[in-house]
Amino acid sequence: DNHSDRPAQRKLILRAIAIYRALLAAGVVERLDEPDEQGRIVRLTVDLQFDFALNQPLSPFALAAIELLDVDSPSYPLDVVSIVESTVDNPRPVLSQQQFKARGEAVQAMKAEGIEYDERMELLENVTYPKPLEELLEAAYSRYRQGHPWVEDYELKPKSVVRDMYERAMNFVEYIGFYQLARSEGLVLRYLTDTYDSLRHTVPDEAKTEGLQDLIEWLGELVRQVDSSLLDEWEALRHPEEEGPVSTRPPSEPPAVTRNERAFRVLVRNELFRRVELASRRAYDTLGELDAASGWDADAWEDAIEDYFDEHETLGIGPDARGPKLLIIEQEKEIWRVRQIFDDPAGDHDWGISAEVDLAASDEAGSAVIRITAVDQL
């Protein structure tokens, strides 16, 4: 019962039947021998959150694929993101720029290795945008399709946009600049919002570990600070009776970024980890651009980090390196004092970055505003 024309209604009916069959085959729902007291002939076999929703055609597949992951793995939160991203429509301008940048980096690496031009061009054909868990997802999809042949109408699309942004510890503006996507800002924001909505409403509560919940909160706050009207619009569509028609409501300002402490802690962690990632590559000019205002120009960063590399060959940037265990936060009324510990190969954990987080400036900027105070060994 909707306002679409009859052909569109038929497509929706077929899609609803396909999703129902997928849930039935997966054991998420079961048929009842007799109707219950409310006349229903189907019931859930699992407990789902109140606002659970299957808002992508491949959402039932995503539910099944999440069960394949190791919940204790440090990469589990990002792997769940990769599964959900594979079910969301491709933001083609982003993927095109990711491939362009990946091929540029590959060319530089091949030139350094002395590979001839013709061979470089041949090898570049295999360089594409990042596709985390591609093999696992393709194998799982192939097996899932055998029992759910109707999903063949929908293509699985492994990609990394939310994950890429998180792993690079970038905010929205930095990410747009990094991939030169100024003309596609609206598309990127809509993609981030769609992924956030899928993560929040498709992933069951029992699959949301603390790390995954942190990531979801971070993504929601990132979208809200860029354009809160998108999330407001969705909430209004879900609860139309609360405030009147969407078109008549005044635009809302994004809330203070520090009000959501869980999301703000992730923003702080990302700001510090971005500096760890740059330090691991000895990108001192970029570090200087970030922190010159707090007295840490490229030379200051180089002096501090080269002292670290005098003792250690590498600086870790894996899942453990960016985890909350290596970040110490002392919360005060107007500032947070933080220490980002380096993941050194010896496991000494005595080197790190000390900084102050200005809460008032963060609320004004809509992002974590930090000032480096030391990069040293304790």
- Structural domain boundaries of the chain? 1-46, 58-249, 258-377
Residue 354, H or E segment = strand 351-358
Strand partners, 330: 337
Write down the pLDDT at residue 248. Answer: 47
Write down the pLDDT at residue 119. Answer: 87
- CA distance linking residue 183 with residue 197, whole number of Å: 24
- CA distance linking residue 337 with residue 268, whole number of Å: 11
Residue 146, H or E segment = helix 134-147
C-alpha separations of 217 from 196, 260, 303, 340, 347 in Å: 9, 8, 36, 21, 30
Residue 339 near residue 354, CB atoms below 8 Å: yes
- One-letter identity of residue 224: R
Tokens of 200: 């929040």
Q: What is the pLDDT of residues 77-117, one digit of tens each?
A: 999 999 999 999 999 999 999 999 999 989 888 988 888 88
Closest-CA residue to 192 (of 162, 236, 212): 162
pLDDT at 131 over 90: yes
Give the SS3 label for residue 345: coil
pLDDT at 247 over 60: no
Angle made by CA atoms 161, 72, 277, in degrees to the nearest 5: 45
Of residues 343 and 230, more confidently modeled: 343
Give the SS3 label for residue 50: coil
B/e letters for 129-152, b = 16+ CB within 10 Å, e = fewer, are bbbbbbebbeebbeebeeebeebe
Q: What is the pLDDT of residues 196-231, one digit of tens each?
A: 999 998 898 889 999 999 999 999 999 988 876 555
**Of 131-135, 198-202, 233-237, 285-289, the least confident:** 233-237
Mean pLDDT confidence for 361-365: 92
Mean pLDDT confidence for 33-46: 89
Mean pLDDT of the chain: 88
Q: What is the pLDDT of residues 278-294, one digit of tens each?
A: 999 999 999 999 999 88
Q: Both ends of the chain: CA-CA distance in Å?
A: 67
pLDDT at 17 over 80: yes
C-alpha separations of 4 from 10, 11, 57, 145, 217 in Å: 10, 10, 18, 29, 35
- Looking up tokens 């220490």 gives 339
Write down the pLDDT at residue 363. Answer: 92
This prediction has a pTM of: 0.78
- One-letter identity of residue 278: L
